[in-house]
Structure 1
């Protein structure tokens, strides 16, 4: 929420075999969230990849984010990988483009 308005929708997808029955499946995952719980299970994320796109929202997204007509969204798809290269989470985020500035800082 930003100024009492939704600014982000996020959905995480996790592999069923390592997380079944763990605290990750609870609404409140505890301190540190999903990544702390993955680490406890031996699948600590050590590498991330993000794909970023801009597009017009679906009607449901526009309603849930309370977007003005014509406001695009930013979609970020983040994949978290454990040490052996196994993907342990895919997180799809839909952001109100008017509420975010994406900034990246990296060496050449």
Structure 2
């Protein structure tokens, strides 16, 4: 059994901050909303936002995107991600987030917003992930 469930794919008007990151002001975008499980418990809810005109009619909108996932499918289209930026915020969950992630009262969440851009600098995905902070360690390695 895979460790995630696809909740839905849709065409939506994105939140303003996502629209700005994707350079999609006023345009609808395609989404893939997923829930990730650890020992049967939902620990992460993720929604990927992608330019609708780029991914229309592709496997990116299918439940099974194939080997390598959506990044491999973007590469197949000639728009593979070459750089990622993550913004991380820690906060208390909304009521809906607390219910979805089944977090204990007082447990914060991490909200990770990852922007994927091509070699040319074009944004091709914004992934907004809400993580149960009690279930994750965020670790980053850097070269000086």
Same fold? TM cut 0.5 = yes
For the pair 1:27 / 2:27, whether they are aligned, the reply is no
> Relative to total residues, which structure has the larger strand share, 1 or 2?
2
Partner of 1:59: 95
For the pair 1:17 / 2:53, whether they are aligned, the reply is yes
RMSD of Structure 2 on Structure 1 (CA)? 0.7
Q: Distance in 1 between matches of 2:72 and 2:39?
A: 29
Q: Which of 114, 117, 124 lines up with 1:81 in the alignment? A: 117
Partner of 2:72: 36
Partner of 2:21: none
Q: Distance in 2 between matches of 1:22 and 1:2?
A: 29
What's the TM-score once normalised by structure 1's chain length?
A: 0.97
What's the TM-score once normalised by structure 2's chain length?
A: 0.73
Alpha-carbon displacement from aligned partner over 1:3-36 (angstroms, at most 9, x marks no partner)? 2211100000001111111111112111111000
Deviation at 1:2, TM superposition (A): 1.4
* Structure showing greater relative contact order (alpha-carbon pairs closer than 8 Å, 6 or more residues apart): 1
What is the count of residue pairs matched by the alignment?
108
Q: Which runs of 5+ in 2 are unaligned?
A: 1-36
Moved over 2 A (4+): none
Alpha-carbon displacement from aligned partner over 1:81-103 (angstroms, at most 9, x marks no partner)? 01110000000000000000011
